[in-house]
Amino acid sequence: MIQIWGVWLLYVVAIVLLVMVSAFLSGSETALTAASRPRILQRLQDGDERAEATLFLMDHYDVLISVLLFGNNVVNILASALATSIFIGLYGDIGVAVATAVMTVVILLFAEVAPKTYASAHPEYCALGISRLWMRLLPLFFPVTILVNRLVSSLFLVLRIDALPAQGSAHHIEELRGAIMQHDNSEDTDSAQESDMMRSILDLDDIDVSEVMTHRSEVAMLDLDRSVADNLDTMMECPFSRLPLYRDDAEDIVGVLHAKKLLPLLKNADFECINLVQLANLPWFIPENTSLLEQLQAFRRRREHFAIVVDEYGGFSGVVTLEDILEVIVGDIDDESDTLQPGIQLNVDGSYSVPGTTTIRNLNRELELNLPDGENYSTLAGLLLHRAKSIPEEGQSFLVAGLRIDVVERVDNQLTRLIVHAEETDHAA
C-alpha cells in the first residue's frame, strides 16, 4: 500500500510539472501573438538583445505554433492519463469521470486561462522573457515541426483547402487600418483627428491627382502674348506664387514662373526688358491617373511643389501642388489668400452651402457623409452631372444616398453653388 501511495505521489508531482509546462506553452503562444511588433522594434533600438530573438520567433511563428500545439496536446493528454490512473485506483471505474472533471478544471484554470490572461496583459514583457529559451528549444523540436507541417499540408491538399497565409502590402495595410480603428476614440477630438490623418495616409495610393488638382478653369495663367506689365497685374491679383506660362493657346504651356524670381527685377522700371520665359522653370507634366502617393514621392525626389496635369490625350487638365496632397492628409490649410473662394458654410437651417468644385472625398470627410465617389467624377457638381445626364438648372434638386442636394447657383454650364441637406430624407423636392 505504501508503495502504491509512493507511485501516486510521483504521479501528482508529474501532473503538476506537466500542468506548469502546459501553462508555459499556452502563455508563449498568447505572448508572441499579442506582442506589438513596433514596441519590440523600439526595444531593439533601445539595445535590448532579447528583442532580436523575439522578432525572429514572430517572423517564424508558423514553425513555433506547430511546436506549441504539439507540446501542449502531449503534456495535457499525459497529465490527464496520469490523473485517470490515480482516480481509478481511488474510486474504481467512476474514477474516469472524476479524473475528467478534475483535470478539466485544473487544465482550464492553471494551464489555459491564467497564463493566457497574464500573457495577454503583458505581451511584450512575456515575449521578451521567453524568446531566448525558445531559440534553444526550437532546434530540438525541428523534426517534429517538419512532420506536423507536412501532415497538415497533406490534409489540406486532400480536402482542397487553401491554407496559404495572406501576403503582400494589401494585407499589411488592412492590419494598419484595423490598428487605426482600435486607436480611434470618438470622444477624444485629438485621437479622432490623428486617426483621420493616418487613414488618409493609407488612402494616398488609392487617390489620383485628378481628384485633388485645381481644374484648368480655375488656374491663373500668364499669356506671353501680353505685355510684362499686364502679366504682372495678373500675378498681383491672384493669390498663387507659381503660375503657368503659355503662348497662343492655354494648351501650349512653356514654363512655370515663380513670383520670387520676378521680384528682384521689379525695381527695374523697364518691364519690357524682363524675359518671363528665361525666368520660368520648365513645365513638369504628369498624367491625371497618377496616385497621390506616387506624386508625393515624385515631389520629394524632384524637390518641386508644382506639376501640370494632362489627360490621356495630352490635353491640359489642371495643376496639382504639394499643398493639395498635404491637405488630403491634414485637411484644408487656409491662409490669408484663401478668402477668394468661399468653402463649405453652415446655414441657419442646418444645411450646408457647398461650392460645386468641392471633391466628394473632402465633403464626406468634413461632414461625415457617405456620398458615392465614382470613377467618372470627383466633385459634387460632377456627381450631379453624372446622375442627371444633363446640366441641371437652378432650383433643381436631387436625392443622393438619402440626402437632398439643391442647385442654387449656375454660371454658364458650371454648377458653382449647391445646398446639401445633411439629414437623410425619403424624397427629393
3-state secondary structure of 242: strand
Residues of the chain with pLDDT > 70: what percent?
A: 85
Compute the average pLDDT of residues 171-194.
65
Phi, psi for 167 (deg, rounded to 5): -130, 170
Contact at 8 Å (CB) between 403 and 426? no
| First-last CA distance in the chain | 95
243 phi-psi bin (left φ>0, alpha ψ -120 to 50, beta other): beta
Q: How far apart are CA 220 and CA 243, in angstroms?
A: 6
Cα 187 from chain centre: 21
Residue 185 has a pLDDT of 56
Q: What amino acid occupies position 129?
A: G
Letter for the amino acid at 49?
E
What digits encode the pLDDT tens for the residues 283-339? Answer: 999 998 899 989 999 999 999 999 999 988 888 999 999 988 888 888 776 665 554
Return phi, psi of residue 318, to 5°: 165, -165
d(CA 58, CA 60): 5
Number of H helices, E strands in the chain: 17, 12
* Mean pLDDT along residues 209-229: 86
> Smallest Cα–Cα separation from 19: which of 112, 88, 92?
112
Query: Where is average pLDDT lowest: 91-105, 133-147, 192-206?
Result: 192-206
Burial class (CB in 10 A: 0-12, 13-18, 19+), 362: buried
State the DSSP code for 375.
S
Higher model confidence: residue 278 or residue 266?
278
| Structure letter (DSSP) for residue 225 | T
CA–CA gap between residue 248 and residue 224 (Å, rounded): 8
- Label residue 162 by pLDDT band (50, 70, 90): low
Query: What's the pLDDT tens digit per position in 142-152?
Result: 777 777 777 77
φ and ψ at 359, to 5 degrees? -75, 150
- Contacting residues for 401 by C-beta, under 8 A, at least 6 apart: 369, 370, 371, 372
Residue 36: band (very low, low, confident or very high) from pLDDT cuts 50, 70, 90: confident
SS3 (DSSP) at 340: coil
Contact 31, 78 (CB under 8 A): no
pLDDT band at 4 (very low <50, low <70, confident <90, very high): low
Question: What is the structure's pLDDT at 93?
Answer: 81
pLDDT surpassing 80 at residue 10:
yes
The DSSP H or E segment spanning 190 is helix 189-203
CA distance 242 to 305: 9
Pinpoint the alpha helices (H) of 357-409: 360-367, 380-388
Place of cell 444645411: 351
Torsion angle of the four alpha carbons 22, 26, 32, 35, in this order, in degrees rounded to the nearest 10 = -130
Nearest CA to 364 among 378, 375, 348? 378
CB count, 10 Å around CB of 143? Answer: 9
Q: Are 178 and 291 in contact (CB under 8 A)?
A: no
Beta bridge partners of 421: 404
Do residues 369 and 381 lie in contact, with contact meaning Cβ atoms separated by under 8 Å? no
pLDDT score, position 159:
75
Dihedral angle, C-alpha 97, 101, 106, 112, nearest 10 °: 110
Judged by average pLDDT, the poorest of 51-60, 66-75, 222-231, 368-377 is 368-377
Q: What is the pLDDT of residue 245?
A: 92
**Residue at grid coordinates 488618409:** 200
Name the strand (E) or helix (H) holding 249.
strand 249-258
Confidence of residue 187 (pLDDT cuts 50, 70, 90): low
Contact 358, 391 (CB under 8 A): no
Q: Sign of dihedral through CA atoms 313, 318, 323, 327?
A: negative
**CB of 150 within 8 A of CB of 59?**
no
Provide CB contacts within 8 A for 362, sequence distance 6+.
332
The whole-number average pLDDT for the span 69-95 is: 87
